[in-house]
Structure 1
Amino acid sequence: MSDVQRAMTLLIAAFSKYAGKEGDKHTLSKAELKELLQKELGDLLGKADDKGAVDRLFKGLDTNQDNSVDFKEFTNMVSCLTVMCHEYFTQK
């Protein structure tokens, strides 16, 4: 498996690990998103413990306003974070 294929598999696995603990296994609730942020992204986001920050992030990710974050919405966040990290590291 190529590096990109492994990365895709890991993203799917990470999403699946947290989705569905409170219902729909294809979406993240706000609590599930918070747990994912804290355990998988750790210090990268820094404010995952800040309820207001989590609320704002959840609202921004939930583009279809169904009060959950689906895989497409999740990957949009991961993509944006990846671009920001790439820009940060290429400027150093």
Structure 2
Amino acid sequence: MSTPLEDATDTLIRIFHHYSGKEGDRYKLSKGEFKELLTSEIADFLSGPKYLLLVDKIMKDLDSNKDNEVVILVAALTPACNDFFEEQLMKEGF
């Protein structure tokens, strides 16, 4: 029996590979693949103009060798998603 964190990790890996490799290396996301993943999988988290800028910033920050591909995903998405959840909690009065 797997733990919730193991299930979540498995899901993240499967989603990553669903989008990766369409435009090159199967183990990396191109800029286009990265944007497709974000807009398809976490659109509610990234709605509004401030989050569109955040997507570009995340891509730029993660693309350390300037090849327009990224590998790190969870560490970059967590802060963006955390902001979304904090805003939702504030709206709900928590």
Q: TM-score range by the shorter chain?
A: 0.7 to 0.9
Q: Deviations over 1:8-36 (max 9, x none)?
A: 10010111110000110000011101110
Residues 1:76 and 2:85 aligned together: no
Q: How far does residue 77 in structure 1 lie from its aligned partner after superposition? A: 1.3
With over 3 angstroms needed to count, the CA separation of the structure-2 counterparts of 1:90 and 1:46, relative to structure 1, is closer
Q: Secondary structure at the residue paired with 1:42?
A: coil
Name structure 1 gaps, 5 residues minimum.
none
Residues 1:35 and 2:36 aligned together: yes
Name structure 2 gaps, 5 residues minimum.
none
Determine the C-alpha separation between the residues in 2 that align with 1:86 and 1:52.
18
Q: How far does residue 6 in structure 1 lie from its aligned partner after superposition? A: 0.3
1:39-54 residue pairs with structure 2 within 5 A? 39-47=40-48, 54=55
Counterpart residue number, 2:20: 19
By percentage of residues, which structure has more helix? 1
Percent identical residues: 35
Q: How far does residue 60 in structure 1 lie from its aligned partner after superposition? A: 2.0
Q: Secondary structure at the residue paired with 1:22?
A: coil
Residues 1:61 and 2:62 aligned together: yes
Larger Rg, first or second structure (1 or 2): 2
State TM-score, norm by structure 2: 0.73
